[in-house]
Amino acid sequence: MKKLLLLITHAGALLVGIGLGIYLLPILVEPESPGTEAIAASQSGAMYSTEFKRDLKGSDFLHWGEGRLTLTARQAVFEGELAPGPDYYLYLVPKFVEDEAGFLEVKDKALRVGPVKTFSGFILDLPANTDLQNYSAAVVWCERFGEFISAGQLGAI
């Protein structure tokens, strides 16, 4: 009985350690976020914007985004906060979605803009020749775990 109890407690401690490692590693290796001035300068000439909100159907206490995403002809600029996690990507999609199932339906039509490596704002270059008129929403998605983080409906500025 004592050996079983030791096995259970040690296995539990191992699982907690792995879970904490998965959560904390992206925070520990996160590069420096762009400063307020860099974000403001990059937002100059913005054509579209959206608000990411925490209360979407696919968001939860570990997977959320809150802030403003603006799109210029050449860049996507996010000012706000994302829940930390591994392997995030920004996608532009043809219609607004608010959960995993919705995103998976349109993923083959989505434009993968690039990796999101900072959680307190980011600036990403859009792929060459991106026609923003083909997209009406933006999604932050975790590739590693197939998790929806946040999304927003784009509107012209």
Domain 36-156 of CATH type 3.30.70:
no
> pLDDT value at position 30?
55
> pLDDT value at position 136?
97
Q: What is the pLDDT of residues 15-49, one digit of tens each?
A: 877 766 666 555 555 557 687 887 888 888 999 99
Non-local (6+) Cβ contacts of 125 within 8 A are 74, 75, 114
pTM of the full structure: 0.83
Q: Is the pLDDT of residue 131 over 80?
A: yes
- Name the average pLDDT for the chain: 90
d(CA 155, CA 105): 22
> pLDDT value at position 24?
55
d(CA 6, CA 54): 40
Q: What is the pLDDT of residues 67-101, one digit of tens each?
A: 999 999 999 999 999 999 889 999 999 999 999 99
Q: Taking the mean position of all CA atoms in its chain, how far away is CA 22?
A: 16
> pLDDT value at position 132?
96
Domain borders along the chain are 1-30, 36-156
